[in-house]
Amino acid sequence: MNTSGEVSIRPIAIIGGTGPAGMGLALRWARAGEAIIIGSRDAQRAQQAAAAIQLRAGPQAKVSGMENSEACAAADILVLTVPFEGQAALVKRLKPAMTDGSILIDATVPLAASVGGRASRTLGVWQGSAAQQAAELVPDEVSVVAAFHNLSAELLGGDSPLDCDVLVCSDDPDAAQLTRELAAKIPGVRAIDGGKLENSRIVEQITALLIGLNFRHKGHAGIRITGLPSGAYR
């Protein structure tokens, strides 16, 4: 996979992109010049969401909306922003539409709220994490990256820089690097190599902690990793 300078001409399909997390990422990347496809189970809802992003990002932005499987087939960078309860069934359904060499960037957090529990707790996932569950379901030629779990969707959907680091976990170094480049396009975000995909279990759980902190202190908590050499944040 070529990661040198080609990010801006390849569309990014955000699957489940009509929710706050997907819309926030779409807005930030559209402003950074990325071509965005918003995916939804409903093409019309996707187009409405795309129009809303286009309005905010400006006339130069490249944003369109499609049904999820069409979005999947039209891009080789896929970002998954759906609730955990829908993740596995959706990935299985989209599998035939995924092209060889694609990367799937998974932001799913297995919150207990998915089964009626508390949002400040995570569920145990048999595979270890939601991202590892996705990795088990995609075609062999598709690389899975876990990222963006700890960004507040509310802040992403605003206009100010974020005060948060993004930990990127994957077993594919090239896919991880491309994802870090995309993360670094969000103002205020530093992207850090978080190691193997199995580390996504820990990163996903941090989100539940952040949600608990938000409840307790009425804020929008994020994370910053300190003490690493500057090269770690590239």
DSSP states of 20-61 as a string?
A: HHHHHHHHHHHHTT-EEEEEESSHHHHHHHHHHHHHHH-TT-
How many CA atoms within 13 Å lie on the side-chain side of 78? 35
The identity of residue 210, as a single letter, is L
By CB under 6 A, is residue 18 in contact with ligand NAP? yes
By CB under 6 A, is residue 121 in contact with ligand NAP? no
Which region among 25-33, 51-59, 81-89, 133-141 touches ligand NAP (by CB under 6 A)?
81-89
The identity of residue 6, as a single letter, is E
By CB under 6 A, is residue 94 in contact with ligand NAP? no
Helices (H), 59-128: 68-73, 84-94
Q: What does the angle CA 227 – CA 190 – CA 36 come to, to the nearest 5 degrees?
A: 165
Task: Using the minimum distance from each CB to ligand NAP, give the nearer residue, 41 or 56.
Answer: 41
By CB under 6 A, is residue 86 in contact with ligand NAP? yes
By CB under 6 A, is residue 203 in contact with ligand NAP? no
Which residue in 30, 78, 111, 169 binds ligand NAP (CB under 6 A)? 111
Structure tokens at 228: 């690493």
Q: Nearest distance from residue 151's CB to ligand NAP, in Å?
A: 6
Which residue in 7, 21, 35, 203 binds ligand NAP (CB under 6 A)? 21
Q: Nearest distance from residue 215's CB to ligand NAP, in Å?
A: 13
By CB under 6 A, is residue 201 in contact with ligand NAP? no
By CB under 6 A, is residue 153 in contact with ligand NAP? yes
Query: What does the alpha-carbon distance between residue 200 and residue 206 come to, in Å, rounded to a whole number?
Result: 10
Look at residues 30, 43, 174, 12 and name the one whose alpha carbon lies nearest to residue 107: 12
Which parts of this chain interact with ligand NAP (CB under 6 A)? 16, 18-22, 40-42, 45, 81-86, 90, 107-109, 111, 149, 151-153, 207
